Amino acid sequence: MWLVSGSGSLAPSRQCLAEPHGYLPKTNYLQPLLPLILTQLLSQSAISTVCEYHLSSHVLQNPNQPNLRDDDAVSKESASETATSAASSPDEPYSQSAKASSPSPSSADSEPTNTAAYDWEEKANWDIKKFTELPYSNFGVNQHMIIDREFKECMRQLLWKFRAPIRYAFAYGSGVFPQSQGDKATESEFKAVHPNAPVAVQRAQKSSPKMIDFIFGVSHTQHWHSLNLMQHRNHYSALGSLGSGAVSAVQDKWGAGVYFNTYVTIEGITIKYGVVTLETLKRDLREWDTLYLAGRLHKPVKILRDDPQVRMANQINLMSALRTALLLLPPTFTERALYSTIAGISYLGDPRMAFPTENPQKVANIVSNNMQNFRRLYAPLVESLPNVTFDDPACNEPDWVWNQDSVLKLQQDMDPVKRGNMVRRLPKAFRAKLYFEYQKELQIPQLDFNKLMEESKNEDAGSFKRQQGGGFEQRIAQDNPSQLRTHVRHVIKKTINWPSTTQSLKGPFTAGMRKTIRYLGEKMANYQQGKKQKPESEKSA
């Protein structure tokens, strides 16, 4: 928490100075981020909420976007009320933010008191039930994006229109995070998408009205669809007439384990929602067995209903995306290249990218229009790794975090030991495929390869005992950079291609032909629009 000194200035407590990823920062480049990250945590305890009042003169607000404020900011008048409810609302990780000059902590104050902050990856507890059981109090705060408060509330209210229990939910895509900037859309253009859009939705999607995409994490698919079919039969295609058993079978046995209902209108807003079990979601986040959902969470999303186990699994997922991108990048690269590489992971092997059904400039558009959100998501994680750092004097500028157009430079250590450690920490299913690629290339006999893998596995096959890479991992890391990129990209494509293809093929069954044709038409229009768009390299030339 923040402690208020006698002079009225703010002094950080030792516990709050732990970075949200659990490591100490290597440089002071992230000091502008500390007020943004740390003050958003104050709503998590009654004591912290009292401290919010003292931050009221330092409300963090992007000077370039005055309407974009911390969406869970707490006013002075409501501080006492929030103090009572904060402890019982662990899915509300934010409160008020402050755009003030960064504190200058001493090295003594910078040591986290919780040793779990250093080794949460090695000792992850997947049986946690409460947010208080996470490795430390501000764990995973980087996952929560700041959007317009009223827009967020509109989306949250939509969740309450479902009687079937939703344990985890996030909104994603261009309907939440715009991928282009243009003239304000007309009323008729909005009505063509949203029949009666609230003002908050119109403001958030002012230049390009889009259907809003959601993912709902649930406990049991058949039970959930049974309840939802009784309440919202019109959300389903003809498949719904066969009952919840048929719907859940299609969901669980085809594709990536997600069932989408699309072009659904609720409260005048058009949405698409995908239903997935929490176990399927957590497995993909931890192991990358399909990368279908894990890839969506590599990009900024708005988490509307949180879950402690999913938050921990997603932090593993984000670290894995960062490590994979570093294996694909040269020693020196730009921030834009890093985020583009990460955002592009989920599109490698996606069949939609092989046909004229997706904007070819999609990745560039996502990154260019959401640089601040990518920084929020990954800059703390960059600081946590010992082999990569921001290496740009622009980071010393007080407002560099808000500079949408900055192209900061980073540098990574190509030491094979450190890169071998990254290989060892890749997700289990993904790592196994990469090992198999190099078994073939290095012509390792199958018995020797099996022995090598068996020595590394835990008895429950849930993770690897050694977090440090051995000779095999270092050999992979030392491979010719071009060859390494080829192998990593090939493994990504193999991971994504079949689940994405089968997920797309079940679209006509789950959505119906009319909605499928409409959806494909919109995607083809996006493709044509992308062909007319200048590539990012030409813009910056």
> How far out from the chain centre does Cα 189 lie?
30
Return the pLDDT at 525: 63
Strands 388-390 and 409-412: antiparallel
Nearest to 30, CA basis, from 413, 373, 396, 374: 396
Q: Of 100-114, 267-281, 415-429, where does the model show the most confidence?
A: 267-281
- 86-100, 298-312, 385-399, 459-473: least confident range: 86-100
Return the pLDDT at 445: 85
Nearest to 40, CA basis, from 62, 24, 16: 16
- Contact at 8 Å (CB) between 65 and 203? no
pLDDT at 468 over 50: yes
- 42-46, 368-372, 381-385: least confident range: 42-46
- Contact at 8 Å (CB) between 10 and 17? no
pLDDT confidence tier of residue 26, bands split at 50, 70 and 90: low
How many CB atoms sit inside 10 A of residue 185's CB? 17
pLDDT at 227 over 50: yes
SS3 at position 269:
strand
Residues in Cβ contact with 319 at an 8 Å cutoff, skipping those fewer than 6 apart: 21, 121, 381, 384, 425
Return the pLDDT at 353: 62
Return the pLDDT at 529: 62
Return the pLDDT at 533: 58
Return the pLDDT at 362: 83
pLDDT at 78 over 60: no
Q: Express each pLDDT in 339-362 by its tens digit.
A: 999 999 998 877 766 555 566 678
Query: Structural domain boundaries of the chain?
Result: 1-112, 143-317, 328-501
215 sits in which H/E element: strand 212-218
Q: What is the mean pLDDT of residues 325-329?
A: 97
Return the pLDDT at 177: 93
Residues in Cβ contact with 143 at an 8 Å cutoff, skipping those fewer than 6 apart: 303, 311, 314, 315, 318, 377
User: What is the DSSP-derived secondary structure letter of residue 298?
Assistant: T
- Contact at 8 Å (CB) between 95 and 42? yes
